[in-house]
Structure 1
Amino acid sequence: MTTPTRSPEELAELADAYDEQGYVLVKGLLTTEEAAAYRERSHALLESLHRDDDPTWGSAAEAAMGRMTSLQHLHDAQFYDAAYTRLLTDPRFTDVVAAVLRTPNVQLHHTKMFVKPPENGSPFPPHQDHPFFPHEDHRVGAAIFHFDDAPDAKGCVRIAPGSHTEGPREHDPEGGFHLPDFPQEQLIPMEAEAGDVLFFTYLTVHSSGVNVSDEARTTWLVQYRDPEDTLIGDAHTQSLGQGLILAGTDPTGRAHQR
């Protein structure tokens, strides 16, 4: 059984909150049963692929206060399992993205699966996603699907509400683009339950903590954009599936030109 799509009034409220705060946490977008199934698929997929590369940022050591941490990840899970492909075009998801982008047209940028292992799952220091793939109109965002519960002890995402309104910030390129001087007190834990999805703009400052719990934290990140927005330069253009239309159409006809 799937949860119903949201009414136009509900979607309008989500869009207004997204505009004002730079994020919105949508509760129960997936059922707990669906989230559990995706969690099982995600862990099985990582195990089958024998992925042992660790994407932990060098600057994460400071956020982890010197402790050794680790992280598992996988780009473009939809190319390994059709279940993720179906999720990319699920109206429960694309209706919200279309609402917050204020366009019926939704285009994929890329996806990443992240599993923070128990007891030492790596953090991410404060940063915007903008430096990695800047666009002219900043109509780019992210959705984090939670496939299991994500309390603060699991290193949940932390958001600085309203931080998107100040536009692009100067990031330190050492150890991964990050904001070493960003005030930690402005970052609010976005504790979530299995099935919740956190949407935020690529100008919203965010981070995540160390997973110090005895359970893994499993998420799937989907970066989306308005297809009429234009990438500046050629950064991050090699992601598989980039340009795929998830809802609506591409009015520009340039999907394969990035």
Structure 2
Amino acid sequence: MVDDARLAEYAKAYAENGYVLVKGLLGKDEAKAYREECHALIERLNRDVDPTWGSARELTMGSPTQLRHCHDVQFYAGAFARLIVDPRFTDVAAAVMGTPNVQLHHTKMFIKPPEKGSPFPMHQDYPFFPHAKHSVGAAIFHFDDAPVEKGCVRVVPGSHTKGPLPHREEGGWHLPFSEWPLEESVPCEAEAGDVLFFSYLLVHGSGVNRTSEARTTLLVQFRDPTDPPTKNVHTESLGQGMMLRGIDPTARGSTTA
């Protein structure tokens, strides 16, 4: 469990900067076990699908890169179902949103392969699933170390205060390269077990993994259940609406017998 004083610190940093890196939320052994779960899942799925954005090819000047991923991981392995309701995670999510109630939007696991793991251009998550109150946040669980050389997440502190920004849609929603260059953003280097929480209005991206080891992460997107989406522009994920902490005050009873 995370104590109240620490939760208050996280909430303050999140409000001011749009993100907070929580060090050691998971133990090293836990992170290693989740890393093994991720790689075993990818091998079981055996999918030849690469979700690299078309716009990312521009960042790499056409050099071939690759991503491996899986949506809705809690439906593939019980370990992930347990992780997304772990109070160490949900208490921080509630604190940064300022609500006791934490609702799932979606989960997504990413593996950036060694030497060619794909980057993400600078962007906000807002265009992918806009919500009325902008409560939506993300948590990136790091299951192995993520230094700059591995293509760690990069951010623009305070950019969440600018509100929704105009994005280019071609090749995945992203901001103009000339105005938001990846190399001028702040790297959020992390160690295995660290979790990065950030607002969906925060401008962020990531670089290429150029090391000899994979970079393995789990993204959990969450929201206040009283914050409705304004557009249905994101395919509804399995489990969307599941309560991870607290209650859904908007829920109504079934009318069927």
TM-score normalised to the size of structure 1? 0.95
For residues 237-248 of structure 1, what are the structure 2 equivalents within 5 Å? 237-248=235-246
Aligned residue number for residue 105 of structure 1? 101
Aligned residue number for residue 229 of structure 1? 227
Determine whether 1:252 maps to 2:242.
no
Determine whether 1:90 maps to 2:95.
no
* Deviation, structure 1 residue 76: 0.6
Change (3 A) 1:162 1:41: same
SS for the counterpart of 1:84 is helix
- For each residue in 1:185-233, what CA deviation from the matched residue of structure 2 results, as whole angstroms up to 9, or x when unmatched? 5411100000000000000000000000000000000000000101012
Distance 2:204 2:55 in 1: 14
Aligned residue number for residue 27 of structure 1? 23
Point out where structure 1 has 5 or more consecutive residues left out of the alignment. Answer: none
Contact 2:7/2:95 (8 A) holds in 1 = yes
Determine whether 1:196 maps to 2:194.
yes
- Structure 1: which 4+ aligned runs deviate by more than 2 Å? 183-186
Point out where structure 2 has 5 or more consecutive residues left out of the alignment. Answer: none
SS for the counterpart of 1:59 is helix
* Deviation, structure 1 residue 235: 1.8
Moved more, 209-218 or 59-68: 59-68
Identity %: 66
Give the root-mean-square deviation of aligned CA atoms.
Answer: 1.3
* Deviation, structure 1 residue 184: 3.6
Distance 1:39 1:185 in 2: 28
Aligned residue number for residue 110 of structure 2? 114
Determine whether 1:170 maps to 2:179.
no
Distance 1:116 1:137 in 2: 32
* Deviation, structure 1 residue 237: 4.3
Q: Which amino acid aligns with 1:84?
A: F
Distance 1:106 1:47 in 2: 31
Query: Would you say how many aligned residue pairs link Structure 1 and Structure 2?
Result: 252
Distance 2:253 2:63 in 1: 43
Distance 1:71 1:44 in 2: 16
SS for the counterpart of 2:202 is coil
Contact 1:243/1:255 (8 A) holds in 2 = no
- For each residue in 1:111-137, what CA deviation from the matched residue of structure 2 results, as whole angstroms up to 9, or x when unmatched? 000000000000000000000000001
Distance 1:254 1:15 in 2: 30
Change (3 A) 1:165 1:186: farther
Change (3 A) 1:255 1:197: farther
Determine whether 1:48 maps to 2:44.
yes
Aligned residue number for residue 65 of structure 1? 61
Distance 2:173 2:46 in 1: 28
SS for the counterpart of 1:158 is strand
Contact 2:105/2:223 (8 A) holds in 1 = yes
Change (3 A) 1:37 1:110: same
TM-score normalised to the size of structure 2? 0.96
* Deviation, structure 1 residue 6: 1.4
Q: Which amino acid aligns with 2:40?
A: A
